[in-house]
Amino acid sequence: MLIGPQNSLSAEDLGARYREVRASIAAAAQLAHRNVDCVTLLAVSKGRSVGAIQELARLGVENFGENYLQEAEPKIAALAGMNLTWHFLGRLQANKTRVVAEHFAWAHGIDRLRIAERLAAQRPATAVALNVCVQVKLADVAGRSGVGAAEVAALASEVEALPRLRLRGLMCMLPEGLDAPRQRELFAGVRTLYDRLNRDGAQLDTLSMGMSSDFESAIAAGSTMVRIGTALFGTLARTDSPAQQS
C-alpha cells in the first residue's frame, strides 16, 4: 500500500520510521532519567496524505499537528471518525482564528493577547476548553515568532484569565543547524521560564519543544511533547507543501 506524498511512502516504510522515532524518544528519555510516558509524540502531518495519517493512527499515534488551515480542514473532516487530537501549529492570523477555535483541540504558538481573545470568544460553548501554549521567542534567534522571555509571564497570566481556553504550557522552535549543546542550552532556557511560571502558581504541564532535528536535546531539557514530521514521514518535497496560507 502506498500512502505517502507522491505515493512514495509505503505503509512498511512508515511503520519502520515510526518504530525508529519511538526508539529514539525512549533512548533520549532514558538518558535523561525520565519516564518515556511523559513525552507525547505529536506527528506533524502538514503536507501528508490522509492515508499516511490513518496508518500512523493505526499504529497508535493519537496527536497530529497541522500548519495550514485550508489543508487541515478537509483532513480533519475526513478523519472525524477516528477520534484523533488535532494541534494547530501554524502562525495564527486574527482573521483565521475561527477555524482553529472550532476544529482543533490545541493551538501552539500563541504570541499575542488579541489572538487568544479571539480564540476564547470563538470556541464553541459545547466544546471542551481549547488547550493553548504560549510561544517563546528565543533570545538572539532572529526572525522567529513568539514573545520574548521578559513578556512570557504577563501574556501567560492574561491568557489564563480567558474563558474557554486552558493554558497548558510553553512552545518554542529552534532554527536548524545548531549543535546539540547549543540546542540543549536554548531549550533549557525555556524550561527555566516554565518552571518559574509554575513556581509562581501557574499549572502548566506541557513543554512543546523538539522537532526532527533536535528532539533528543529537547527531551534532555524536559520536553513533554515533541513535534515530529520529517523523521516520521520523510523529507517533504517543496511542491507537496501548500503555500503559506493559514
Ligand X SMILES: *Cc1c(COP(=O)(O)O)cnc(C)c1O
Q: How far apart are CA 94 and CA 112, in angstroms?
A: 10
Asked if residue 174 binds ligand X (CB under 6 A), the reply is no
The residues in 39-58 that bind ligand X, with binding defined as CB under 6 A, are: 44, 46
Nearest-approach distance from CB 212 to ligand X, in angstroms? 3
User: Distance between the two ends of the chain, CA-based, in angstroms?
Assistant: 31
Selected binder of ligand X within 155, 170, 173, 207 (CB under 6 A): 173
Nearest-approach distance from CB 107 to ligand X, in angstroms? 11
**Helix/strand number for the chain, H first, E second:** 9, 8
Asked if residue 120 binds ligand X (CB under 6 A), the reply is no
CB of 89 or CB of 138, closer to ligand X: 89
Asked if residue 28 binds ligand X (CB under 6 A), the reply is no
Selected binder of ligand X within 89, 120, 162, 204 (CB under 6 A): 89
The CA–CA distances, whole Å, from 191 to 39, 184, 220 equal: 14, 10, 11
Q: How far apart are CA 141 and CA 175, in angstroms?
A: 8
Contacts of 230 (CB under 8 A, 6+ apart): 211, 212, 213, 236
Selected binder of ligand X within 45, 63, 97, 212 (CB under 6 A): 212
- Which residues are at the interface with ligand X (CB under 6 A)? 44, 46, 67, 89, 173, 211-213, 227-231
